[in-house]
Amino acid sequence: MTSREYNVLFLCTGNSARSVMAECAINRWGKGKFMGYSAGSHPKGSIHPLTLELLNELHYETKHLRSKSWDEFATPNSPRFDFVFTVCDQAAAEQCPVWPGQPITAHWGVADPAAFEGTEEEKRRFFARIYRELENRIKIFTNLRIDALDSFALQQRVKEIGRTTPPDTWEG
């Protein structure tokens, strides 16, 4: 088994909710094996307040989080990514920068909690549901035996993970 740490970039349009949640979750559940990053094609410039509220409730460190452009990670001095996952349909349809090293890519689309309409409590529940959906996929991903899979099998597996749906028993 390798002790190598894999870099994972989560992309969304605004980089204010979903991709930030995924970055935090992979840094928790994949600690020592994965290093997570997030960015957006058209970053909002700030993290959504309900994203920060939820992450703080889940005991994540949020002071370092910021909304940033994917251009920040397309420079020669940027980390080399092993995996790049889009978490929103709009970002998946956009022309992404060329990532050096041909990372394994997949679309792990989830609904946009920032666009959800409802009461404040309904919005909080929806943010929590989206977090759990991403966390479920990330837990599956971080438990893959990456070193035991060839690149084709790994590519197929990460695509399958993107199609997993949360259990029906989840509230939200």
Residue 165: its pLDDT value, please?
76
Integer Cα distance of 56 and 43 in angstroms: 21
Residue 102: its pLDDT value, please?
82
What percentage of the chain reaches a pLDDT higher than 90? 76
Q: Are 83 and 10 in contact (CB under 8 A)?
A: no
pLDDT in tens, 130-145: 999 999 999 999 999 9
Query: 106 forms bridges with which residues in the sheet?
Result: 85
DSSP 8-state symbol, 102: -
Which residues does the annotation mark as catalytic?
12, 88, 96
The Cβ-side half-sphere exposure at 14, using a 13 Å CA radius, reads: 13
| Its pTM surpasses 0.95 | no
Residue 1: its pLDDT value, please?
46
Integer Cα distance of 73 and 10 in angstroms: 11
Residue 172: its pLDDT value, please?
47
- Sheet of strand 34-40: strand arrangement: 34-40, 6-12, 83-86, 104-107
Residue 93: its pLDDT value, please?
56
Query: From residue 91, how far is each of 61, 74, 109, 144 by CA, in Å?
Result: 26, 15, 9, 25
Residue 130: its pLDDT value, please?
96
Domain ranges of the chain: 6-162
Instruction: Report the CATH superfamily, name and number, of domain 6-162.
Output: Response regulator (3.40.50.2300)
Per-residue pLDDT of the chain (172 residues; tens, 9 = 90+): 457 899 999 999 999 999 999 999 999 999 999 999 999 999 999 999 999 999 999 999 999 999 999 999 988 889 999 999 999 876 555 666 667 778 999 999 999 999 999 999 999 999 999 999 999 999 999 999 998 888 899 999 999 999 887 665 445 4
